[in-house]
Amino acid sequence: MQTKTVAARILPIGLLLLTLSGCAAVVVGGATTGVAVAHDRRTAGTVVEDQEIEWRTMSMRREDRELSEKSDVEIEVFNMQVLLTGQAENMEIVERFAQRVATIPRVRNVFNEVVVGAQSTFSESTADAWLTSRVKTALFGLGIDGFDPTRVTVTSSQGSVFLMGLLTPTEADAVVEKVRFISGVKRVVKLFEYIDQ
């Protein structure tokens, strides 16, 4: 009886963490495009292109049986650049996948940050989602006039935090400085593209 109670409490928390980590964006899809563009420095067309690239990449991942069985690759797309994170039994299967992703029309770059290792456990995935949500929350206190923290895309994998976005050099430096001191962050990887001040 107590096990059911604990499970009933953990499930909503897990769903909330997944939502905060950005996984729910795929479910909502085009319905949020208008809201996203209001704060986004990407054009509306690029936001739609990113969604299309993400759908196609996820479809490729789903159809690749060996990749599905031997890895847990996560996908993030920003400004037509694809970030692959997670773990895989060997790098060959991920490199083949990354090469296929690079052939998707309009993809500009593929950042393959997948590491060799056992697939993530539920607790590790939950820890990554929790770290992502803490990083996103911390960016609201950055203290730069006019800075919009929703312009930073945050992905976490085993303590590594990957940051994407269209930022000024000042914004990017402040974001990295803030993130690197958050408890649980082992490494910060900047994948920003810079715009003029």
Confidence category of residue 10, pLDDT binned at 50, 70, 90: very low
We report the CATH number of the domain holding residue 93 as 3.30.1340.30
Domains contained in the chain, number? 1
pLDDT for the residue 37: 59
- Per-residue pLDDT tens over the stretch 165-193: 999 999 999 999 999 999 999 999 999 99
| Percent of the residues in the chain that have a pLDDT greater than 90, as a whole number | 76
Confidence category of residue 197, pLDDT binned at 50, 70, 90: confident
Decide which of 197 and 71 is more confident.
71
In a domain, 133, yes or no: no
Burial of 19 (0-12, 13-18, 19+ CB in 10 A): middle
In a domain, 156, yes or no: no
Decide which of 4 and 72 is more confident.
72
In a domain, 39, yes or no: yes
The arithmetic mean of pLDDT across residues 62-66, rounded, is 96
Q: Is the pTM of this model over 0.85?
A: no
In a domain, 121, yes or no: no
In a domain, 165, yes or no: no
In a domain, 50, yes or no: yes
Confidence category of residue 98, pLDDT binned at 50, 70, 90: very high
Residue with tokens 């479910």: 27
In a domain, 17, yes or no: no
Mean per-residue pLDDT of the chain: 86
- Per-residue pLDDT tens over the stretch 152-169: 999 999 999 999 999 999
- First vs last Cα of the chain: how many Å apart? 59
Show the domain range for 70.
33-116
In a domain, 84, yes or no: yes
